Amino acid sequence: MARERDDRELRAARERAIEHISACYAHDVIGVDELERRVGEAERAATVADLDRLVADIDVPPEARAIVPRAPAAMARGAGEPAAPVLAGAAPASQTVVAVFGGADRKGAWVVPRKLRVWAAFGGADIDFREARLAPGEHRVSLFALCGGIDVIVPPGLHVEVDGAGILGGFGGDAGTEPPADPDAPRLVITGVAVLGGIDVVERLPGESGWAARRRRRRERKARAKRERARRLEGKK
């Protein structure tokens, strides 16, 4: 019985340590290399004391611990209508969305901050930019999923740069566009890491389901291929 109790305490301490390490990464206290090293050591730790020492020198800044509430749905306009633009100086500097053993979302006509952190641990987060209000210029989105999932939806035409990695998890998506002609146009730079979890960045029209979006993209790819073949044939004449 004592051995079973010790094993339970060690498992609980390991989960707390990994959550703490992940939170520090989500708030830029440590980098991805340090994240991988500490999570690996936490998995190999043989005692609670080892785990306590592993996290003793890092902590999340107090000002970054608030959970961002859910955004209200768009009320004054129909779903799918373009959102009103945001003045360059009106976008919040930073916000954090946290989902721990539960869910969180941002959708509708919400104002996108210049820096958005999304952290999901044993839970899920949905971040929908299709009707979001973006100021001109760059918005950086940092994603971290630990034994959880984050789904990001972006509209066609919005410039998106995506870069991420999966550590015993998955990071993927089909979003990404060429740089806009207007250097002041809104753009998203999305980075992330999934540890024993998943992050997916996809492109959809407002109100469009995932299945309908895949069908639309297949039609668009076929149409582009057809135009390219016609252009090559025209060039040979």
Residues 43 and 117 in one domain: no
In a domain? residue 9: yes
Contact residues for 117 (Cβ-Cβ < 8 A; gap 6+): 26, 27, 64, 94, 95, 96, 97, 142, 144
Provide long-range contacts, Cβ within 8 A and 24+ apart, for 110-115: 110/71, 110/72, 111/86, 112/86, 112/139, 113/139, 114/138, 114/139, 114/140, 115/139, 115/140, 115/142
**Average pLDDT for consecutive 10-residue bins of the chain (237 residues)?**
74 83 78 83 90 89 47 37 53 84 87 90 91 88 91 88 86 67 82 90 80 74 76 72
Tokens coding 60: 């999340």
CA distance 1 to 22: 32
CA distance 96 to 53: 27
Half-sphere exposure of 210 (CA within 13 A, CB side): 9
Residues 148 and 193 in one domain: yes
In a domain? residue 57: yes
Residues 112 and 198 in one domain: yes
Residues 148 and 55 in one domain: no
| pLDDT for the residue 177 | 59
| pLDDT for the residue 66 | 41
In a domain? residue 227: no
Task: Report how many domains make up the chain.
Answer: 2
Residues 57 and 115 in one domain: no
In a domain? residue 148: yes
Residues 42 and 102 in one domain: no
* DSSP codes, 119-184: EEESSEEEEE-TT-B--SSEEEEEEEEESSEEEEEE-TTSEEEEEEEEESSEEEES---PPPSSTT
Residues 106 and 199 in one domain: yes
Residue 120's domain comprises 94-206
Residues 100 and 200 in one domain: yes
H-run or E-run covering 228: helix 210-236
Residues 129 and 57 in one domain: no
Sign of CA dihedral 29, 18, 36, 98: negative
Residues 100 and 195 in one domain: yes
State which of 13, 46, 62 marks the end of a domain. 62
Residues 109 and 197 in one domain: yes
In a domain? residue 192: yes
pTM for the full predicted model: 0.59
Residues 55 and 101 in one domain: no
